[in-house]
A and B are shown apart, each in its own frame.
Chain A
Amino acid sequence: MRNFSSELKKLHKLIAVYAVFILSISTLAYAQDKPADTSNAAIATALPAASASTPSGDAKAGEALFKANCTSCHALNKRVLGPALAGVNNRHSEAWLLKWIKNAPAMVASGDKEALKIYNEYNQAAMTPFPQFSDDDVKNILAYIKVEGDKVNTAPVAVTGVTAASDTSYSNYMIFGLIAVIIIALLVILLLNKVISTLENLLTKKDSVGITLYEEETEVQKDKLAVVKKLIKNKKLVFFVVLCSVITLGSFGWMDLWNTGVQTGYQPVQPIKFSHQLHAGTNQIKCQYCHSSAWKSKHASIPSANVCMNCHKYVQATEKYNGEISPEIKKIYAALDYNPETQKYGENTRPIEWIRIHNLPDLAYFNHSQHVKVAGIECQKCHGPIQEMAEVYQYSPLTMKWCINCHRVTEVNSKGNAYYDKILAAHEDIKKGVKVTAAVLGGLECGKCHY
């Protein structure tokens, strides 16, 4: 016993020593991060002071004009259709800018060198002439660009600096923590091994204390086993236990057998992390914007990548990725071989391989337009709360029972539907005794036989 307690004491000592060691390392790591932090902050505060100068126009009046006339082609800090406008005051003289903004195409036609350079750099897209602007209007816009452009240029530096610093300190803590845990675990294992070996030594020495301990333990073990053996011998009990487990396992098995081939909840990993929660939920874009063929076709269809580009030519989520284009949006660009720098499409395209979730076998005919356009059913009735799904899963079982149950209770809305008008007219004819041929009921349609 004495041995054991002394081992415990040793353990205490070791843990204490190790704790001091870890603490010193982690504070060191933190101390290393701190100077980087402050230096970044210093840069951030120094920059605006250096570049601030008094703009000549009224920036507030310029803001309204800028937002009404310029933003459909320009942004301050990124290329849209035209160049990023932050710093434009430094790139060109004010006189040149006045001329250019009022009538850019004329300047290109006259062969102005600066104008031609921009024209060719931006895919020969002609800038809209703004003859309605007065000189003061243009100066106001330029003042707004200067004020806002300086803000935009300095802001990202500060943001990236701080996040980068906090990132590294976080990861340092993680790494040291992990190493510490592993080392402690190893030490504990070593110590336990030592404890076991000392206990075994005690037993082999056949100390009086050790022998009594050993005997007591085996007696208890024997008793426990005896109870178990007695229970096993009781056939009624064994039968009961077996029966219970067969019933529970059997019923689970039976239920699961019925669910064979039913894929409710199927949620495969898609090649792009497209969130319906963001697009259909937050942004409230209608389902048919992308799945436009649901109105007119059997299939709701996956949109082609040009539909993504309607918005993502502009929307690049750079604010969430430290000024970089979102990696998921980059996947669209890669599929289309689109270069966001030059805004040109290449030849090396490849399809985005989406994984189909809702899949009916060919033996069942389902038509989207019949349900969406004719019956006017909401997409959510079958596809569930799609506007809340960050990742789409199969909501409905798509079994025959599920179809039939809905068809049993759904009333037909025949109002204003020429198909039902014709059928009702044919029924009236039959009542009157007029001869109704198969052709009248659409029996000459090609698809009736050649489907």
Chain B
Amino acid sequence: MQQKLSTMIESMLVMNKKVAILFFVMFAVSAIITSCKDKRTRGLEYAPNMYEPIAYNPDQKNPNFADGKTAQNPPKGTNPVGFSRFNFDETRQGYDAASAFAINPLQKSQKNLVEGQQLYLAMCSPCHGDKGAGNGHIVTLGKYPAPPSYANGVSSRGGAMKDLTDGKIYHTIQYGINLMGSYASQLSPEERWKVVMYVHELQTLK
């Protein structure tokens, strides 16, 4: 039985020598092509037209715009739906006006405070510290100068940090001051007010 099988295979081998060689070459080539994987390329793709977007992705180049970008800024003076504009200038006068007239539109609630804390921890705590004492991780590493503490610090624009009003804190988040940049692109107006609410909590810490 075994002998018969082996002779059969032998005869098959002779018969289909060309076919066998062809198969062998085919597998070898496919193995070689796919095995030399380069981490710098996306590798083999089958029917990539299913993967390539028809519409422009925001991060793609776009020849339809003068600056070649797909992600365009909204036209000047337009407001997205539900967007409340902060009508105080990036000046000392604007800062004082905001302090006098801007009030947090959000109701103080546990939910808003928790969300404010979450945002504060992500956006502010690297410098201001988890408890707002001006000892964030970057500051303790010595990579960035310390901001004043919310509870016992002195504001660079006069007055104690613990007396900062809604409008003053919001104005600072919106425009930045000294070495602090503007956080307007990272926090929506509603989120900014939540952070303001949480900062008021930190001002009362001793």
Mark A residues whose CB is within 8 Å of B. Answer: 67-69, 71-73, 75, 80-81, 126, 128-129, 132, 235-236, 238-239, 242, 245-246, 249-250, 252-253, 256-257, 259-263, 265-269, 282-286, 288-289, 292, 296, 299, 301-304, 306-307, 309-311, 313-315, 351, 354, 356, 359, 361-363, 393
Contact = CB atoms under 8 A, between A and B. Distances in A.
Interface of B: 6, 9-10, 13, 20, 23-24, 27-28, 30-31, 34-35, 37, 39-46, 48, 50-55, 57-59, 69, 92, 121-123, 126, 137-138, 141, 143-148, 154, 156-158, 176, 178-183, 185-188
Given A268-B40, A284-B137, A289-B122, A256 B35 contact: yes
B157 A128 contact: yes
B51 A361 contact: yes
A72 B147 contact: yes
A18 to B, nearest CB: 41
A361 B52 CA distance: 7
Nearest to B13: A239
5 contacts: A67-B145, A71-B146, A72-B145, A235-B10, A285-B126
Given A266-B39, A269-B40, A356 B185 contact: no
Given A246-B24, A356-B59, A72 B182 contact: no
Contacts of B178: 72-73, 81
A253 B24 CA distance: 11
Contacts of A242: 20, 24
Given A239-B10, A269-B40, A306-B181, A362 B55 contact: yes
Contact of B10 (A72, A129, A236): A236
A72 B40 contact: no
Nearest to B147: A72
Contact of A249 (B31, B37, B92, B188): B31
A260 to B, nearest CB: 5
Contacts of B20: 242
Contacts of B187: 292
Contacts of B37: 265
Contacts of B54: 362
Nearest to A416: B111
Given A266-B43, A299-B58, A315-B143, A286 B182 contact: no
Nearest to A261: B45
Contacts of B179: 72-73, 80-81, 313-314
Contact of B23 (A132, A246, A256, A307): A246
Contact of A306 (B57, B145, B156, B182): B182
A307 B27 contact: no
Contacts of B182: 306, 310
A181 B90 CA distance: 66
Nearest to A317: B143
Nearest to A258: B34
A71 B181 contact: no
Contacts of B122: 286, 288-289, 292
Contact of A351 (B40, B69, B147): B69
Contact of A236 (B6, B35, B52): B6
Given A128-B157, A283-B126, A289-B186, A256 B13 contact: no
B28 A249 contact: yes
Given A261-B44, A310-B181, 12 more contacts: A239-B10, A249-B27, A249-B28, A252-B35, A259-B34, A260-B43, A289-B126, A292-B187, A299-B58, A302-B59, A315-B143, A362-B54
Nearest to A351: B69
B59 A261 contact: no
A261 B46 contact: yes
B17 to A, nearest CB: 10
B31 A283 contact: no
A307 B39 contact: no
A253 B20 CA distance: 16
Contacts of B53: 361-362
A239 B9 contact: yes
A303 B178 CA distance: 22
B144 to A, nearest CB: 6
Nearest to A129: B158
A359 B59 CA distance: 11
B28 to A, nearest CB: 5
Contact of A235 (B13, B145, B181): B13
Contacts of B138: 283, 285, 311
A182 B46 CA distance: 47
Contact of B145 (A71, A250, A359): A71
A141 B59 CA distance: 49
Contacts of B28: 245, 249
A282 to B, nearest CB: 8
Contacts of B143: 283, 315
Contact of B42 (A253, A263, A354, A362): A263
Given A242-B20, A261-B45, A307 B185 contact: yes
Given A261-B45, A354-B59, A267 B40 contact: yes
Contacts of A313: 179, 181
Contacts of A362: 53-55
The 4 closest A-B pairs by CB, nearest first: A256-B34, A71-B145, A310-B181, A361-B51
